[in-house]
């Protein structure tokens, strides 16, 4: 077998693998959307579970998912960026920084169910909060932090040394250089990583089963008192997210229209994640063009 034939065979195998993955993804999305869009309506998306047929809508679950997203990113974003700044700008090559990087890699590979059990022990039981949005947000933050730290470190390292040296040569301090030069230049990568991390929040269920809970109290959306258990803004109330709701209705099977509810919720969840990922790519390219004045 000559080299040209080997090259053609290898190229054909690569193309076959790529096409196979795309076909599987296409049929999976087509199956979810074809079955799910039949059940989606405005009433289904905005009403609580008990008001539509036997299974109801997913309005509270959608709100809980977005509120959990807000709480999670409020924790993950500043901590992840500060850790990335430390590793990229201040950390030296020694045993301590190697231990930090090893810990980050270990957290990245941990199953979410293990994070959920950890959250149950620490954030639910030890704090006394019980099943709550805050416990779920802290558990998801543990999952997202390694990803956010790595994205932040890589985005900051990608900023050219010439820009740092020029800033320092003009008399700026190290922190002023980071704040005014490095972070704005790394902003496209940071935003892209943040949006992708946000999209991962919607699809998480295992960790939330043990932290945020599998039920929600009857919410009064006119009650804005965050200390009230019926207020939608309370971070210390149990909250069933959309992914947990899909798992719950399928596993329990207590409602006659479980298939319609699960299909509609799944289609909306997949569509939301797709929008997040497309937004991440568009926002990263747009901000890069704006900051670099490139066409």
What are the Cα distances from residue 23, in Å, to 18, 28, 44, 203, 269?
Answer: 9, 8, 30, 22, 21
Q: Supply the pLDDT for residue 102.
A: 86
The pLDDT score that the predictor gives to residue 293 is: 57
pLDDT digits (tens, 9 = 90+) for 242-254: 889 888 888 776 6
Q: What integer pLDDT is reported at residue 253 of this predicted model?
A: 64
CA gap 40, 21 in Å, rounded: 28
- 235-292 confidence digits (pLDDT tens): 999 988 988 988 888 877 666 677 788 888 889 988 888 887 787 778 777 776 776 6
- The reported pLDDT for the residue numbered 214 is 85
pLDDT at res. 294: 53
* Averaged pLDDT in 10-residue chunks for the chain of 295 residues: 82 93 92 86 79 66 91 92 90 84 84 91 91 93 91 89 88 88 86 82 87 84 83 89 87 73 87 82 75 58
- CA 68, CA 70: separation in Å to the nearest integer? 5
Name the nearest CA neighbour of 214 among 253, 179, 241: 241
Q: Sign of the CA dihedral 179, 184, 190, 191?
A: positive
The pTM score is 0.84
Domains and CATH numbers, the chain: 37-292 (1.10.3720.10)
Distance CA 207, CA 123 (A): 12
pLDDT at 52: 46
- On whether the CB atoms of residues 187 and 287 are closer than 8 A, the answer is yes
């Amino acid at each position: 077998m000559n080299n040209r034939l080997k090259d053609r065979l290898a190229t054909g195998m690569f193309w076959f693998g790529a096409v196979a993955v795309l076909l599987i993804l296409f049929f999976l999305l087509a199956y979810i959307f074809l079955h799910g869009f039949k059940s989606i309506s405005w009433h289904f998306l905005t009403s609580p579970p008990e008001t539509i047929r036997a299974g109801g809508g997913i309005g509270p679950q959608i709100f809980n998912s977005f509120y959990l997203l807000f709480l999670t990113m409020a924790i993950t974003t500043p901590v992840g960026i500060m850790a990335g700044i430390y590793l990229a700008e201040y950390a030296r090559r020694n045993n301590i920084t190697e231990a930090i990087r090893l810990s980050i890699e270990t957290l990245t590979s941990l199953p979410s169910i293990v994070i959920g059990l950890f959250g149950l022990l620490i954030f639910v039981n030890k704090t006394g909060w019980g099943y709550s949005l805050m416990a779920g947000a802290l558990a998801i933050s543990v999952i997202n932090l390694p990803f956010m730290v790595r994205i932040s470190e890589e985005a900051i390292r990608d900023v050219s040394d010439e820009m740092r040296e020029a800033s320092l040569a003009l008399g700026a301090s190290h922190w002023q250089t980071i704040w005014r030069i490095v972070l704005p230049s790394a902003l496209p990568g940071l935003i892209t990583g943040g949006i992708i991390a946000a999209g991962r929040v919607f699809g998480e269920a295992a960790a939330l089963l043990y932290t945020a809970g599998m039920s929600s109290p009857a919410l009064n959306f006119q009650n804005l008192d965050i200390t009230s258990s019926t207020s939608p803004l309370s971070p210390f109330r149990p909250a069933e997210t959309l992914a947990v709701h899909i798992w719950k209705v399928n596993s329990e099977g207590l409602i006659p229209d479980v298939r319609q509810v699960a299909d509609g919720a799944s289609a909306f969840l997949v569509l939301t994640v797709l929008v997040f990922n497309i937004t991440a790519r568009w926002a990263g390219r747009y901000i890069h063009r704006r900051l670099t004045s490139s066409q």
